[in-house]
Amino acid sequence: MADKSFFIDTTKCTACRGCQIACKQWNKNPGTKTLQRGNHQNPPDLSAATFKLVRFNEVEVPGGEPKWYFFPDQCRHCMSPPCKEVADGKAKGAIIHDEKTGAVIFNPKVKIKPADLKETREACPYDIPRWDEKTGGMSKCTMCIDRIKEGMLPACVKTCPTGAMNFGDRKEILEKANKRLAEVKGTYKDAMLANPDDVRVIFLLVDDPKKYHKFAVAENTIGITRKMALKRLFQPLTSLRHMIG
């Protein structure tokens, strides 16, 4: 099985939330009570019961109508997942990187301490890992690995009625994403692909990423959080000390 990727074309997302519901249904995740919080965001955030969340962001336009930005958020299945780098040192087997598909899988059965979850979440440039109270482990999007190994599309992609969600072999998905980017550039000069070389879930955005979601695009060089960069900086020194000691 080849290396896989998603392409999420936000210009085609109508915020129907079909992907969000299909994800819950396939993963047998319980519903979350809908509440009026003065906006359309329901549930309020990703959780152990919500691996896929359409984020709604209303942006005021001076002198005009407010504008909506829709962002179907999920784990990006990073090429070199920083979450795994941290978790490997905390709880062995808590995060698995599937060689064939590239899927980054959390094993919710491997127990992890709340402090370790916090560190793992901080390492994720997209703020994805969540605590699963029921198992004492971590949870997030699975890339629907059980479906794709049987030749099916991920549930969220299969359900999307507008073509916003796409999935396939990485080479073809990158071609599709770049072709679409070139198409929309004429209309949206700020159009961009979010960290395409570093992630397997590639978003097409046509405006300032912060208008979609705080964590739409990685702030720093992906795979290297501040803490990890410092650790790497001092690693040669640590190794030297070991050798001398």
Q: Find the distance separating the first CA and the last CA of the chain, reported in whole Å.
A: 46
How many CA atoms, within 13 angstroms, populate the side-chain half-sphere of residue 51? Answer: 25
Q: Which of 66, 70, 132, 78 is nearest to 102 (CA)?
A: 78
Asked if residue 108 lies in contact with residue 135, where contact means CB atoms within 8 angstroms, the answer is: yes
Residue 142 found at the interface with ligand SF4 (CB under 6 A): yes
Residue 86 found at the interface with ligand SF4 (CB under 6 A): no
Residue 130 found at the interface with ligand SF4 (CB under 6 A): no
Q: How far is CA 12 from the centre of its chain?
A: 18
Q: Among 13, 112, 117, 128, which residue interacts with ligand SF4 (rule: CB under 6 A)?
A: 128
Q: Among 18, 102, 137, 154, which residue interacts with ligand SF4 (rule: CB under 6 A)?
A: 154
Question: Which residue lies nearer to ligand SF4 by CB, 17 or 140?
Answer: 140
Question: Which residue lies nearer to ligand SF4 by CB, 23 or 181?
Answer: 23
Residue 108 found at the interface with ligand SF4 (CB under 6 A): no
d(CA 224, CA 81): 10
Residue 110 found at the interface with ligand SF4 (CB under 6 A): no
Q: Among 4, 52, 55, 130, which residue interacts with ligand SF4 (rule: CB under 6 A)?
A: 52
Strand bridging mode 4-9 / 201-205: parallel
Residue 105 found at the interface with ligand SF4 (CB under 6 A): no
Q: Among 8, 23, 48, 192, which residue interacts with ligand SF4 (rule: CB under 6 A)?
A: 23
Instruction: Give the list of residues 6+ apart from residue 2 with CB closer than 8 angstroms, or none.
Output: 100, 169, 170, 171
Name the residues that contact ligand SF4, by CB under 6 A: 22-23, 26-27, 51-52, 74-78, 81-83, 104, 124, 126, 128-129, 140-144, 154-156
